[in-house]
């Protein structure tokens, strides 16, 4: 786990970046109603968690660089024996200081009274404007309260800045503790994918495969990082398919895009396997193209390479493969220039990964794709999708969707594939499926 001392270092680092005349305000995620008086399982806001490690709702983190009476403040719920008997224990302000390392903590009910005083004398406010309309209005009200005291000598903030500009650059680079958690998240996700392969059978249902995933997640104290995509046959061609209720038919492929969330850190894996245990000739031909594309992208995963280099390498290999199979016509140069490959490949080859599945962090700096650096984690996930009814495509290719996705850590020497624990070579997958 990430220790309290690391969260404290993060807060110090963010305050150094913001400078002494700033104030940083970050509210927790709200509870979300699912139906009437039941709620979705609570999941803390990723930015709030990254800076605090505090798991409760109804909390606000305030960082005041250079404040003599304490720079790191948390407003949170007070202890309440009656509510805790229903909902579980709370840290309270005392626990926030003792266990989480804040300089001071106050009841959340005192926020309206105390925060205007913290804003006074600060020239800049860092905050996520537009995420929470209700909190936006509260913040505007607190600022206006300070402005109303200008004639009495109050100094209200005059600059409002997007907090993500600073905070998300920190989150992009994973610490040793974060990498340990991401390795464990990946390990659990690999185990789940193997279980999903073994749960697949002709005449079954996609939700049976999904159930195997969830069982492994919960058995390992994890949850799904996102709603799994379990698409068999033509459903594999729907990029964000989530119904997961169709039959798994003999002769079809099944695409399973699923990841675990362990200690708030996500993994993200996609594998595509034959329901009956053996790839057909056409399935194997397309699968080999996607595998070669992923290998080409992985070759670009090293420090100093532009983030986009992996995508460009994958696109070239995919296009070459489509041309060789007769699914595209013309030259490689013209097919790349015209974007003809996008008929079968509509997404980028990866994304940042961390506390969020599609994690924060800029892909470009000063208009240019940024270079990879040690500590970055991202996915590499080329695919090909030939939907039923695609014009100009022979019937034997239609209804085949394939994606191969792994999680990759950039290291000082190159990269580490975090999700190697689940097969992806054709022979390895067929051997595992033969164990059913």
Show which residues are catalytic: 37, 240, 257, 268, 347, 351, 358, 381, 385, 403, 405
* Dihedral of the alpha carbons of 300, 302, 306, 311, in degrees to the nearest 10: 30
Sign of CA dihedral 330, 331, 337, 339: positive
Structure tokens of 200?
């697949």
Strand partners, 62: 25, 73
Write the CA distances from 39 to 76, 252, 365, integer angstroms.
20, 38, 40
Determine contact, residues 401/236, Cβ cutoff 8 Å: yes
Determine contact, residues 286/402, Cβ cutoff 8 Å: yes
Q: Quickly list DSSP for 336-365.
A: HHHTGGGGT--S-S--B-SSSSS----SEE
Under DSSP, the state recorded for 80 is -
Alpha-helical runs (H) found in 270-363: 281-299, 308-324, 332-338
Structure tokens of 233?
């046959």
Beta pairing, strands 60-63 & 223-224: unpaired
279 closest CA partner among 427, 162, 57, 411: 427
């Amino acid at each position: 786990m990430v220790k309290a001392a690391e969260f404290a270092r993060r807060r110090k680092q963010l305050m150094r970046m913001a400078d002494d005349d700033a104030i940083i305000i970050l509210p927790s995620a709200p509870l979300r109603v699912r139906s009437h008086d039941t709620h979705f399982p609570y999941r803390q806001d990723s930015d709030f968690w990254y800076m605090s490690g505090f798991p409760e709702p109804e909390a606000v983190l305030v960082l005041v660089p250079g404040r003599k009476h304490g720079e790191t403040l948390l407003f949170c719920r007070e202890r309440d024996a009656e509510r805790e008997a229903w909902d579980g224990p709370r840290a309270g302000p005392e626990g926030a200081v003792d266990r989480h390392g804040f300089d001071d903590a106050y009841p959340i009910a005192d926020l309206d009274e105390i925060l205007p005083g913290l804003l006074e004398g600060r020239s800049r406010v860092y905050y996520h404007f537009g995420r929470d309309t209700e909190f936006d209005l509260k913040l505007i009200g607190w600022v206006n309260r300070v402005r109303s005291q200008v004639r009495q000598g109050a100094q209200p903030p005059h600059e409002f800045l997007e907090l993500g500009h600073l905070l998300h650059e920190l989150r992009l680079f994973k610490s040793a503790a974060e990498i340990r958690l991401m390795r464990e998240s990946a390990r659990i996700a690999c185990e789940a994918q193997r279980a999903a392969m073994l749960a697949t059978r002709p005449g079954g249902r996609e939700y049976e495969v999904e159930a195997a995933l969830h069982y492994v997640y919960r058995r390992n104290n994890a949850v799904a990082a996102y709603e799994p995509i379990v698409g068999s046959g033509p459903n594999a061609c729907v990029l964000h398919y989530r119904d997961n209720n169709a039959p798994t038919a003999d002769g079809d492929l099944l695409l399973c895009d699923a990841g675990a969330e362990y200690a708030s850190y996500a993994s993200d894996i996609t594998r595509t396997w034959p329901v009956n245990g053996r790839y057909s000739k056409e399935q194997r031909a397309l699968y080999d193209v996607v595998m070669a594309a992923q290998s080409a992208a992985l070759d670009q995963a090293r420090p100093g390479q532009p983030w986009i280099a992996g995508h460009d390498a994958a696109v070239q290999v995919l296009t070459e493969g489509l041309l060789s199979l007769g699914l595209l016509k013309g030259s490689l140069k013209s097919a790349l220039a015209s974007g003809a490959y996008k008929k079968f490949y509509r997404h980028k080859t990866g994304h940042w990964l961390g506390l969020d599945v599609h994690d924060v962090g800029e892909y470009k700096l000063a208009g240019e794709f940024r270079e990879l650096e040690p500590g970055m984690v991202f996915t590499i996930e080329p695919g090909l999708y030939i939907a039923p009814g695609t014009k100009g495509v022979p019937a034997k290719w239609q209804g085949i969707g394939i994606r191969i996705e792994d999680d990759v850590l950039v290291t000082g020497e190159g990269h580490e594939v975090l999700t190697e624990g689940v097969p992806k070579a054709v022979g390895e997958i067929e051997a595992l499926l033969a164990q059913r």
